[in-house]
Amino acid sequence: MKTYDFTPLFRSTIGFDRLLDILGDSTARPGWPPYNIEKMGDDRYSIKMAIAGFTPQEVEVIQQGNTLAIRGEKSAEGEEPEVLHRGLALRNFEQSFNLADYVKVASAGLENGLLSIDLVREVPEQLRPRRIQIGSGTNAAISHQDNRHQLSDQSQPVRQAKAA
Protein backbone atom coordinates (compact mmCIF):
# COMPACT_ATOMS: atom_id res chain seq x y z
CA MET A 1 0.00 0.00 0.00
CA LYS A 2 1.43 3.37 -1.01
CA THR A 3 1.26 6.40 1.22
CA TYR A 4 1.59 9.86 -0.28
CA ASP A 5 2.78 12.94 1.57
CA PHE A 6 0.69 15.98 0.61
CA THR A 7 2.62 18.39 2.87
CA PRO A 8 4.19 20.33 -0.05
CA LEU A 9 0.71 20.97 -1.46
CA PHE A 10 -0.47 22.48 1.83
CA ARG A 11 2.14 25.24 1.40
CA SER A 12 0.77 26.34 -1.99
CA THR A 13 -2.96 25.92 -1.48
CA ILE A 14 -5.41 27.91 0.57
CA GLY A 15 -8.82 26.58 1.49
CA PHE A 16 -8.33 23.14 -0.05
CA ASP A 17 -7.47 21.36 3.19
CA ARG A 18 -10.60 19.21 3.02
CA LEU A 19 -9.81 18.13 -0.55
CA LEU A 20 -6.27 17.12 0.38
CA ASP A 21 -7.56 15.19 3.40
CA ILE A 22 -9.86 13.24 1.10
CA LEU A 23 -6.96 12.50 -1.25
CA GLY A 24 -4.88 11.32 1.67
CA ASP A 25 -7.62 8.95 2.85
CA SER A 26 -6.43 5.55 1.71
CA THR A 27 -9.52 3.56 2.68
CA ALA A 28 -10.79 1.50 -0.23
CA ARG A 29 -14.40 1.63 -1.32
CA PRO A 30 -16.30 -1.64 -1.22
CA GLY A 31 -16.73 -3.24 -4.64
CA TRP A 32 -20.43 -3.90 -4.27
CA PRO A 33 -22.73 -2.59 -5.55
CA PRO A 34 -20.93 -1.49 -8.72
CA TYR A 35 -21.42 2.14 -9.71
CA ASN A 36 -20.42 4.77 -12.29
CA ILE A 37 -19.92 8.49 -11.72
CA GLU A 38 -20.62 10.51 -14.86
CA LYS A 39 -20.08 14.19 -15.65
CA MET A 40 -23.15 15.46 -17.49
CA GLY A 41 -22.08 19.11 -17.86
CA ASP A 42 -20.04 21.81 -16.16
CA ASP A 43 -22.04 21.65 -12.92
CA ARG A 44 -24.04 18.44 -13.36
CA TYR A 45 -23.09 14.90 -12.33
CA SER A 46 -24.81 11.54 -12.13
CA ILE A 47 -24.18 8.43 -10.05
CA LYS A 48 -25.50 5.19 -11.54
CA MET A 49 -25.56 2.17 -9.23
CA ALA A 50 -26.52 -1.40 -10.17
CA ILE A 51 -28.83 -2.71 -7.45
CA ALA A 52 -30.89 -5.38 -9.18
CA GLY A 53 -33.52 -6.99 -6.97
CA PHE A 54 -34.08 -3.96 -4.71
CA THR A 55 -37.31 -1.96 -4.68
CA PRO A 56 -37.48 1.82 -4.09
CA GLN A 57 -38.84 1.13 -0.58
CA GLU A 58 -35.70 -0.89 0.28
CA VAL A 59 -33.24 1.84 -0.79
CA GLU A 60 -32.51 5.02 1.16
CA VAL A 61 -30.61 8.03 -0.23
CA ILE A 62 -29.59 10.66 2.34
CA GLN A 63 -27.53 13.83 1.88
CA GLN A 64 -26.18 15.28 5.09
CA GLY A 65 -23.84 18.20 4.56
CA ASN A 66 -21.19 17.14 2.07
CA THR A 67 -21.82 13.42 2.46
CA LEU A 68 -24.17 11.37 0.30
CA ALA A 69 -25.14 8.04 1.87
CA ILE A 70 -26.92 5.28 -0.05
CA ARG A 71 -28.23 2.34 1.91
CA GLY A 72 -30.04 -0.75 0.70
CA GLU A 73 -31.70 -3.13 3.10
CA LYS A 74 -33.52 -6.18 1.81
CA SER A 75 -36.80 -6.77 3.61
CA ALA A 76 -37.32 -10.21 5.08
CA GLU A 77 -39.92 -11.97 3.00
CA GLY A 78 -42.16 -14.60 4.52
CA GLU A 79 -41.49 -17.60 2.32
CA GLU A 80 -38.42 -17.79 0.16
CA PRO A 81 -38.45 -20.24 -2.75
CA GLU A 82 -35.82 -22.92 -2.98
CA VAL A 83 -32.91 -21.39 -4.88
CA LEU A 84 -30.86 -23.76 -7.06
CA HIS A 85 -28.32 -21.09 -8.07
CA ARG A 86 -27.90 -17.63 -6.49
CA GLY A 87 -26.34 -15.24 -8.97
CA LEU A 88 -27.98 -12.04 -7.70
CA ALA A 89 -26.28 -10.59 -4.65
CA LEU A 90 -29.29 -9.50 -2.62
CA ARG A 91 -27.26 -8.58 0.44
CA ASN A 92 -27.60 -5.31 2.31
CA PHE A 93 -25.22 -2.52 1.33
CA GLU A 94 -24.10 0.92 2.37
CA GLN A 95 -22.13 3.28 0.14
CA SER A 96 -21.12 6.87 0.87
CA PHE A 97 -19.66 9.63 -1.29
CA ASN A 98 -17.95 12.86 -0.28
CA LEU A 99 -19.45 15.73 -2.27
CA ALA A 100 -17.79 19.02 -3.12
CA ASP A 101 -19.13 22.24 -1.65
CA TYR A 102 -22.49 23.43 -3.02
CA VAL A 103 -23.32 20.06 -4.64
CA LYS A 104 -26.90 18.98 -4.02
CA VAL A 105 -28.98 15.98 -5.02
CA ALA A 106 -31.39 17.09 -7.75
CA SER A 107 -33.27 13.80 -8.19
CA ALA A 108 -33.06 10.05 -7.67
CA GLY A 109 -34.81 7.21 -9.46
CA LEU A 110 -34.75 3.42 -9.66
CA GLU A 111 -35.57 1.78 -12.97
CA ASN A 112 -34.73 -1.71 -14.22
CA GLY A 113 -32.34 -2.36 -11.32
CA LEU A 114 -30.33 0.83 -11.95
CA LEU A 115 -30.36 3.56 -9.30
CA SER A 116 -29.72 7.00 -10.85
CA ILE A 117 -28.84 9.96 -8.64
CA ASP A 118 -28.54 13.33 -10.37
CA LEU A 119 -26.32 15.92 -8.67
CA VAL A 120 -26.05 19.63 -9.41
CA ARG A 121 -23.50 22.17 -8.20
CA GLU A 122 -25.13 25.50 -7.35
CA VAL A 123 -22.57 28.12 -6.32
CA PRO A 124 -24.21 31.25 -4.82
CA GLU A 125 -23.91 34.36 -6.99
CA GLN A 126 -21.83 36.25 -4.40
CA LEU A 127 -19.21 33.44 -4.45
CA ARG A 128 -18.88 33.20 -8.23
CA PRO A 129 -15.88 34.85 -9.85
CA ARG A 130 -16.42 38.44 -10.95
CA ARG A 131 -14.27 40.73 -13.05
CA ILE A 132 -12.80 43.73 -11.25
CA GLN A 133 -12.19 46.81 -13.41
CA ILE A 134 -8.79 48.40 -12.88
CA GLY A 135 -8.55 52.18 -12.86
CA SER A 136 -5.62 54.60 -12.66
CA GLY A 137 -4.82 57.77 -10.75
CA THR A 138 -6.39 59.04 -7.55
CA ASN A 139 -10.00 58.58 -8.74
CA ALA A 140 -9.55 54.96 -9.81
CA ALA A 141 -13.05 54.03 -8.68
CA ILE A 142 -14.69 56.59 -11.01
CA SER A 143 -15.22 55.41 -14.56
CA HIS A 144 -14.40 57.63 -17.54
CA GLN A 145 -18.07 58.37 -18.17
CA ASP A 146 -18.60 59.50 -14.56
CA ASN A 147 -15.46 61.62 -14.83
CA ARG A 148 -16.83 63.43 -17.93
CA HIS A 149 -19.99 64.41 -16.04
CA GLN A 150 -17.90 65.85 -13.20
CA LEU A 151 -15.78 67.87 -15.64
CA SER A 152 -18.82 69.30 -17.46
CA ASP A 153 -20.47 70.26 -14.13
CA GLN A 154 -17.33 72.11 -13.03
CA SER A 155 -16.84 73.95 -16.33
CA GLN A 156 -20.44 75.16 -16.66
CA PRO A 157 -20.40 77.70 -13.76
CA VAL A 158 -17.21 79.18 -15.14
CA ARG A 159 -18.86 79.87 -18.54
CA GLN A 160 -21.86 81.53 -16.89
CA ALA A 161 -19.61 83.80 -14.86
CA LYS A 162 -17.83 85.03 -18.01
CA ALA A 163 -21.09 85.67 -19.84
CA ALA A 164 -22.53 87.84 -17.02
The four Cα atoms 145, 148, 154, 160 give a dihedral, to 10 degrees, of -120
**Tell me, what's the pLDDT at 110?**
94
pLDDT score for 84: 84
**pLDDT at residue 86 in the model:** 79
Nearest 5°: CA angle at 77, between 71 and 82?
115
In 10 A of CB 47, how many CB atoms? 20
Q: Where are the domains of the chain?
A: 31-123
CATH code for 31-123?
Answer: 2.60.40.790
Which residues have C-beta within 8 Å of that of residue 88, sequence separation ≥ 6?
52, 53
**What pTM did the predictor assign?**
0.59
Phi, psi of 110 (to 5 degrees): -125, 115
Strands in 35-39's sheet, in edge-to-edge order, are 35-39, 44-50, 114-121, 103-111
Rounded CA gap, 160 and 92, in Å?
89
Residue 138: per-residue pLDDT: 60
Whole-number pLDDT of residue 81: 77
Mean per-residue pLDDT pooled into runs of 10, the chain (164 residues): 60 49 52 87 91 91 92 77 80 89 91 93 83 75 48 48 46
Q: CA 101 to CA 19: how far, in whole Å?
A: 10
